[in-house]
């Protein structure tokens, strides 16, 4: 783990100079465009389906919002839409009297196209936006619940992203972030690191055919700030309170930040 201030202010794909945020974002965009056709397969395969369990944890944690008479939800960095869909389904289950609307946004069109197909097949309303999560085309204080699963780590500037989510949220609103982390238990951490450093990049790069995307995944998780550093970052961006909930021994962390 590295301090959040220096020099890791955001994602840094291989070959990009520190501080060149526009190029970092472009490299991330192009990488996801390349892996989009196999993203779901690899996600579930390489995580042993545990990614579904983590998304369910997030959905459960934000139920108080999903039960409201009126709630405006934005899932940023939605990728192929699994979290946005899970949120819409839970809203439909809890409040069958309401339209289960959830904005799903991502800056990578090939990912969004897959999300659109899934919403269509599920018979749920599709509200999609091709947008950069650090510059969302939404007014201030217009959203009650912002979610982001495994996308925050990919932002070119974490602080700018956190400030943007804070800007979007209405008073009482919540940001729910799911992100990888480093397990705290030594043995579990060693096993996890072995898998992440040696198995996952080889398998992921080979199956995705993307030449490097899954090495980036491993590298980005290692460079990502620790949960306490993320808490500081969110508080610094304007959130009043941050809850940290480690999942699966700390492999993943659910952050709930309130404005």
Task: Enumerate binding residues for ligand SAM (CB under 6 A).
Answer: 25, 28, 32, 43, 77-79, 82-83, 106-108, 111, 132-134, 149-151, 154-155
For residues 29 and 9, what is the distance between their CA atoms, to the nearest angstrom?
18
> Residues 234, 255: contact at Cβ < 8 Å?
yes
CA 227 vs CA 6, 52, 150, 209: distances in Å: 16, 21, 14, 32
Distance in Å, CB of 138 to ligand SAM, minimum: 13
Distance in Å, CB of 213 to ligand SAM, minimum: 10
Q: Which residue is nearest to ligand SAM (CB)?
A: 79
Cβ closer to ligand SAM: 144 or 179?
Answer: 179
Cβ closer to ligand SAM: 34 or 231?
Answer: 34
198: which DSSP letter? I
Cβ closer to ligand SAM: 33 or 95?
Answer: 33
Cβ closer to ligand SAM: 19 or 185?
Answer: 19
For residues 256 and 253, what is the distance between their CA atoms, to the nearest angstrom?
10
Instruction: Work out the number of other CB atoms within 10 angstroms of the CB of residue 109.
Output: 15
Cβ closer to ligand SAM: 134 or 218?
Answer: 134
| Percent of the chain as helix, strand, coil, to the nearest 5 | 50, 15, 30
For residues 119 and 154, what is the distance between their CA atoms, to the nearest angstrom?
24
Residues ≥6 apart with Cβ < 8 Å to 7? 18, 19
Tokens representing residue 24 in the block:
């970092």
Distance in Å, CB of 223 to ligand SAM, minimum: 15
Distance in Å, CB of 20 to ligand SAM, minimum: 14
Distance in Å, CB of 53 to ligand SAM, minimum: 12
Residues ≥6 apart with Cβ < 8 Å to 62? 87, 145, 147, 174, 176, 256
Tokens representing residue 191 in the block:
């096993």
Cβ closer to ligand SAM: 43 or 215?
Answer: 43
Distance in Å, CB of 102 to ligand SAM, minimum: 12
């Amino acid at each position: 783990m590295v301090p959040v201030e220096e020099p890791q202010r955001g994602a840094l794909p291989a070959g990009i100079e520190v501080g060149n945020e526009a190029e970092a974002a472009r490299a991330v965009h192009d990488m996801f465009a390349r892996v989009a056709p196999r993203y779901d397969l690899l996600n579930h395969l390489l995580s042993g389906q545990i990614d579904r369990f983590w998304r369910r944890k997030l959905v459960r944690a934000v139920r108080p919002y999903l039960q409201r008479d009126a709630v405006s939800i934005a899932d940023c960095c939605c990728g192929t839409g699994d979290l946005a869909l899970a949120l819409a389904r839970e809203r439909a289950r809890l409040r069958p009297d309401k339209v289960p609307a959830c904005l799903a946004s991502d800056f990578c069109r090939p990912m969004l196209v897959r999300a659109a197909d899934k919403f269509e097949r599920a018979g749920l309303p599709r509200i999609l936006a091709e947008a950069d999560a650090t510059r969302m085309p939404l007014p201030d204080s217009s959203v009650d619940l912002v979610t982001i699963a495994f996308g925050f780590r990919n932002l070119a500037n974490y602080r700018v992203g956190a400030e943007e989510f804070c800007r979007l949220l209405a008073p009482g609103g919540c940001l729910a972030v799911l992100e990888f982390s480093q397990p705290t238990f030594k043995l579990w951490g060693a096993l996890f690191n072995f898998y992440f450093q040696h198995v996952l990049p080889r398998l992921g790069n080979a199956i995705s055919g993307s030449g490097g995307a899954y090495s980036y995944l491993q590298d980005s998780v290692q460079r990502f700030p620790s949960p306490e550093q993320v808490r500081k970052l969110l508080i610094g961006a304007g959130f009043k309170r941050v809850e940290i909930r480690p999942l699966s021994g700390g492999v993943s962390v659910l952050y709930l930040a309130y404005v």
